[in-house]
Amino acid sequence: MKHLCLMLGVLLCTCLGVHRENFRTCSQSGFCKRQRNMEPGTSSYVVQPSTLRISSSSLMVEVLNTKNNIRFLLQGYGLQHGIFRVKLAEAEALRERYEIPVGLTLVAEPVQEELKYHGEKDGKLTFSLGQNKMVINVNPLRLDFLINDEPVTSLNAQGLLKFEHSRTKEGWFSSLGSSVFSLLSQPFREAKDEGAGEESEGEQKEEGEEVKAEEEEEPDMWEETFKGFTDSKPNGPVSVGLDIAFPGFRYVYGIPEHADTFALKTTKNTDPYRLYNLDVFEYELNSPMALYGHIPFMAAHNEKNTVGVFFQNAAEGWVDIHSNVADKSVFSNLADFVTGNNEVPQTDTHWFFEDGIIDIFVLLGPGPRDIFKQYASLTGNTPLPPLWSLAYHQCRWNYNDQDDVRNVDQTMDKFDIPFDVIWLDIEHTDSKKYFTWDGSRFSNSIEMLRNLSSKGRRMVTIVDPHLKREDGYRVYSDARDKGLLVKNKDGNDFDGWCWPGSSSWPDFMEKHVRDWWADQFALDKYVGTADNLFVWNDMNEPSVFNAPEITFPKDVKHLSGRENREVHNLFGKLVHDATFDGLLKRSNYQERPFVLTRAFFAGSQRTSAVWTGDNMGEWSHLKMTVPMMLSLNLAGIHFSGADVGGFFKNPDNELLTRWYQAGVFQPFFRAHAHIDTKRREPYLLPEAYMVVAREAIKKRYTYLPFWYQLFHESETTGMPVMRAIWMEYPKETNVFAMDDEYLLGDAILVKPVVDQGQTDIAVYFPGENTVWYDIDTYKTYPGRQEANVEAPLSKLPAFQRGGSIVPRKMRGRRAASLMYNDPFTLIVCLDKQGKAGGQLYFDDYHSYGYRNGQYALTELSFHNFKLENSVKFKGEGFTTKEWLERVVVAGVNTEPKKIHLVKPDGTKMELGHTYDAQSKVLTIRKPGVNVAEKWIINLH
Ligand SMILES: *[C@@H]1O[C@H](CO)[C@@H](O)[C@H](O)[C@H]1NC(C)=O
């Protein structure tokens, strides 16, 4: 949203771009340096097969670090949908490491599935899970994962595993003994009952036996200073890291959020990609620097397989990436599999986190659809948003007062530009005290909200997680008195600087604190609000202006006693989780909430939409929106968007107009701007541009039924809404790194214009034997080739796939909530065989009724000159008034003589039509039938 430059003023900031020096580089971070400096080679970690214990779906076995005799416990699980889980932690630790409780990141305890043990042979323990295998190499420890006996992922193949065991500053081994936290207590069967190998004696260490120091003590192990801030590091060095190889894969994707290409780059000559939730002012493009939120999920894709790894760890992380294709060298020790074949591409990744354990889910696809289903089975789906939230949002820092709000609302109507939500930024509050209003500017917020509501519109206000430390501020004093605030390292309430000045933060890590926060959204607590007000959480990384890297110091203490170091990347997610719960409670669990967040973590999709933070009004930032959103969509964050127009700076008319066009086909569509920018509501554009921006926004509204369908599919299958082309065309190698065009679902191909002065654009059309139709003219383009498409300012290049049916609603309305009962237009684009198919999903567009069966789902199919709608599901008592106004069929070679509708009751009716022989488009007029019923349209 904005940053401290404003607050600190010109004294401290020049505000000329990212302040790199505010953020650590790898070489300024002790654990990053120690982990990154690991040399590939033989790992000192060795499996102790005699200790193997197995159950029907899991295994545990001890691992010894032969350098220092520290013992670890390796646990493996077989999970449903073909997922392996591998955990590695100290067998006996001085301190219980943080493991994220189920329900925060994982949506539920993953369902286990039968893991078959095939015994030990040649120093390898083999387990199978359906078609997939996990092979544990004993000495040194290495885990290989195979699909149909082909290796696709390998852990510790380079031998970079480094688990910094717990220790005390005085000499850690002296305190080993009864107080240790032991993992060796779970009831497991003896593996030898299952035909395991010979039990070898004498390998186990006795407790307290002397151990060797693994590494020299380094100065930054017990204390670290950055920019004058000292991190007390009471637990010393506690990082974990290992390498993950993807043999056979040239490309890996994911680990958002970075302002970089979709296909991740080699980090040979840069810092690793950093995963640490931070408020980065005027962020740089094409950089591995950390941004606001992070998801430690990576996918690899090639012509044969798509696989993924989810490294569940909430501490600061870094990921190095090397590729034998990009880097011209092979590191991994996969000789057993790919002997002597240097032509096989391979990507080697190296992950390290400052704290926590190693907890990795290996998702073995084998196709794109499979990994999305697998990842969603772990971290949950994006729940179907209310329809209005998929429409256009008008935001700015700030709409100054209720007159300003009314004026924007009225002027949008005057210019016939639809919008659904107007947003208020921090200035609407009384002195940045969230849950309050500045009474001099919003003297009658209830009436303001009612006025918006009367037009079918809503408001979103900002509620940040920092609380102004002021006695009279109820929310703060309540939190303080109840002991809900995050502590500093000495145990007092942490006091940091944010918008209101001196602030404190509720400890969202705790369930009872989240419940307390949720209660604040009740209409009698958040005074002056109504049920058409929704919420936006910003600064939840959290942003702390006067702290190291503009966030909590790492030794800040949560109520559990844990340091922020252990949980940092999860904190922001729990803020928006609690906000979501608040809105849910407010409606007595009837209405779907809407929350937008800047900080996020794995699982954030379950409760919030995400935007890409404080971008800039520059062409390069417009271009970057697509790769950033593709990464977010890959990692489960389907409802995502970028500030239209760019947050900082003043975009010129052309850029702003092009940005509106791009936003039409991105999931979350909101214009936003910095307080210092010129006003830029779309009606302020000069006429020639305004008309184009208006057409773009209106186009978004006509496609709302399609967006809704996409989000229904997202919720039910885990498939991204915004898809990289390889997700639908997995064998077309030339699209693997493509991130300047993308697909919405499997039906619409989008290539936004992101360069100044462009009047035409080269578009690659995927798909052998596929034909694509321009969505405006129905001009066709054959698949598997590139074509130059005219793209003057008025043109948003987008194409519908032949073979698809896309639902639209063509009546112009000022807000989406006025469209619930509007009639449909179906756009049927025929493939080369004259066929097409699609689905329609209907519910009430705002409540949770659909979870109780209050919805209908129909299947549309066009074949043999016949369009058929068949009802797949219709909940008892569910009805909709929506009807079919028009059917457009593109790719019809000869005009039909007659067209008949067969109604649900079997009666027939002749339908009027027009036919354009030039474009081969048939328009069938007014079938008038209810869309959620069975009906057939016959072409004769
Ligand atoms: C609500 O709308 C009425 C009618 O347009 C207007 O007179 C009034 O000022 C509005 N109230 C607010 C708070 O904007």
Q: DSSP labels for 880-903?
A: ---BEEEEEEE---S--S-EEEE-
How far are the Cα atoms of 245, 682, 695, 779, 794 from residue 688, in angstroms, in the given order? 53, 12, 11, 25, 9
pLDDT in tens, 247-301: 999 999 999 999 999 999 999 999 999 999 999 999 999 999 999 999 999 999 9
Same fold, 393-464+508-553+572-723 and 728-939: no
Q: Kindly report the protein residue whose alpha carbon is nearest to atom 14 of ligand 1.
A: 448
pLDDT(466) > 70: yes
CA dihedral in degrees (579, 582, 586, 589; nearest 10)? 100
For residue 781, the model assigns a pLDDT of 98
What does the chain come to in residues? 940
Cα distance between residue 238 and residue 719, in whole Å: 36
The pLDDT-based confidence of 188 (bands split at 50, 70, 90) is low
Tokens 């637990």 — which residue? 235
Q: What does the block give as tokens for 775? A: 């969505």
> Does 410 contact ligand 1 (Cβ within 6 A)?
no
- Chain Cα centroid distance, residue 42: 36
Q: What does the block give as tokens for 614? A: 């404080």
Q: Which fold has domain 2-37+222-379?
A: Immunoglobulin-like (2.60.40)
Give the Cβ contact number of residue 37 at 10 Å. Answer: 10
Angle between helices 511-519 and 564-586 (to 10 degrees): 40
Beta-bridge partner residues of 748: 744, 800
For residue 325, the model assigns a pLDDT of 79
pLDDT averaged over the chain? 93
Cα distance between residue 61 and residue 49, in whole Å: 7
pLDDT in tens, 566-591: 999 999 999 999 999 999 999 999 99
- Residue pair 667/641 in contact (Cβ under 8 Å)? The answer is yes
- Residues with catalytic annotation? 538, 614
Q: Kindly report the protein residue whose alpha carbon is nearest to atom 12 of ligand 1.
A: 448
Q: Kindly report the protein residue whose alpha carbon is nearest to atom 6 of ligand 1.
A: 451
- In the reported structure, the alpha carbon of residue 511 is separated from the centroid of ligand 1 by a whole-number distance in angstroms of 41
Cα distance between residue 750 and residue 733, in whole Å: 19
> Does 402 contact ligand 1 (Cβ within 6 A)?
yes
For residue 327, the model assigns a pLDDT of 74
- Residue pair 136/152 in contact (Cβ under 8 Å)? The answer is no
pLDDT in tens, 637-676: 999 999 999 999 999 999 999 999 999 999 999 999 999 9
- Residue pair 556/588 in contact (Cβ under 8 Å)? The answer is no
- In the reported structure, the alpha carbon of residue 447 is separated from the centroid of ligand 1 by a whole-number distance in angstroms of 7
> What pTM value is reported for the model?
0.94
pLDDT in tens, 830-889: 999 999 999 999 999 999 999 999 999 999 999 999 999 999 999 999 999 999 999 999
Classify residue 168 by burial, with Cβ atoms within 10 Å: 0-12, 13-18, 19+. Answer: middle
Cα–Cα–Cα angle for 313, 357, 215, nearest 5°? 120
- Residue pair 503/495 in contact (Cβ under 8 Å)? The answer is yes
**Ligand 1 atom nearest residue 448's Cα:** 13
- In the reported structure, the alpha carbon of residue 428 is separated from the centroid of ligand 1 by a whole-number distance in angstroms of 18
- In the reported structure, the alpha carbon of residue 815 is separated from the centroid of ligand 1 by a whole-number distance in angstroms of 19
Cα–Cα–Cα angle for 779, 781, 785, nearest 5°? 160
For residue 19, the model assigns a pLDDT of 84
Provide the 8-state DSSP code for 375. Answer: H
Cα distance between residue 146 and residue 134, in whole Å: 6
> Does 406 contact ligand 1 (Cβ within 6 A)?
yes
Tokens 């379950």 — which residue? 606
- Residue pair 641/632 in contact (Cβ under 8 Å)? The answer is no
- Each domain of the chain, given as residue ranges in start order, spans 2-37+222-379, 393-464+508-553+572-723, 728-939
pLDDT(210) > 60: no
For residue 17, the model assigns a pLDDT of 72
For residue 200, the model assigns a pLDDT of 42
Cα distance between residue 422 and residue 405, in whole Å: 8
**Ligand 1 atom nearest residue 402's Cα:** 14
% pLDDT > 90, the chain: 89
Residues 6+ apart with CB under 8 A from 339: none
pLDDT(331) > 60: no
Full DSSP string of 461-513: EE--S-EE--TT-HHHHHHHHTT-BPB-TTSSBP-EEETTEEEE-B-TTSHHH
Q: Strands of 156-262 (E only): list them.
A: 162-163, 181-182, 189-190, 224-226, 229-231, 240-247, 251-254
For residue 216, the model assigns a pLDDT of 64
Name the strand (E) or helix (H) holding 581: helix 564-586
Segments in 21-107 forming alpha helices (H)? 30-36
The pLDDT-based confidence of 218 (bands split at 50, 70, 90) is confident
Lowest mean pLDDT among 123-132, 166-175, 795-804: 166-175
> Does 445 contact ligand 1 (Cβ within 6 A)?
no
The pLDDT-based confidence of 179 (bands split at 50, 70, 90) is low
Classify residue 688 by burial, with Cβ atoms within 10 Å: 0-12, 13-18, 19+. Answer: exposed
- In the reported structure, the alpha carbon of residue 787 is separated from the centroid of ligand 1 by a whole-number distance in angstroms of 52
For residue 180, the model assigns a pLDDT of 63
Cis, peptide link before residue 257, omega less than 30° from 0: yes
> Does 444 contact ligand 1 (Cβ within 6 A)?
yes
How far are the Cα atoms of 690, 822, 837, 879, 906 from residue 870, in angstroms, in the given order? 42, 20, 11, 15, 13
Pocket test for ligand 1, best of 399, 404, 405, 406 (most atoms within 8 A of CB): 406
- In the reported structure, the alpha carbon of residue 677 is separated from the centroid of ligand 1 by a whole-number distance in angstroms of 27
Classify residue 671 by burial, with Cβ atoms within 10 Å: 0-12, 13-18, 19+. Answer: buried
pLDDT(890) > 70: yes
> Does 128 contact ligand 1 (Cβ within 6 A)?
no
CATH class entry, domain 728-939: mainly beta
pLDDT(3) > 70: no
Q: Strands of 185-239 (E only): list them.
A: 189-190, 224-226, 229-231
Measured between its terminal Cα atoms, the distance across the chain in Å is 58
Pocket test for ligand 1, best of 447, 453, 454, 533 (most atoms within 8 A of CB): 447
Provide the 8-state DSSP code for 10. Answer: G
**Ligand 1 atom nearest residue 406's Cα:** 14
Name the strand (E) or helix (H) holding 828: strand 824-829
For residue 171, the model assigns a pLDDT of 61
**Which of 190-194, 221-225, 696-700 reaches the highest mean pLDDT?**
696-700
Name the strand (E) or helix (H) holding 53: strand 45-54
- In the reported structure, the alpha carbon of residue 413 is separated from the centroid of ligand 1 by a whole-number distance in angstroms of 15
Cα distance between residue 374 and residue 378, in whole Å: 7
Cis, peptide link before residue 269, omega less than 30° from 0: no
Range 393-464+508-553+572-723: architecture per CATH: Alpha-Beta Barrel (3.20)
> Does 455 contact ligand 1 (Cβ within 6 A)?
no
Q: What does the block give as tokens for 368? A: 């794109």
Residues 6+ apart with CB under 8 A from 71: 62, 63, 64, 65, 90, 91, 92, 205
pLDDT(126) > 80: yes
Nearest 5°: phi and psi at 405? Answer: -60, -50
Residues 6+ apart with CB under 8 A from 601: 105, 277, 293, 294, 295, 314, 569, 570, 572, 573
pLDDT(207) > 60: no
pLDDT in tens, 408-458: 999 999 999 999 999 999 999 999 999 999 999 999 999 999 999 999 999
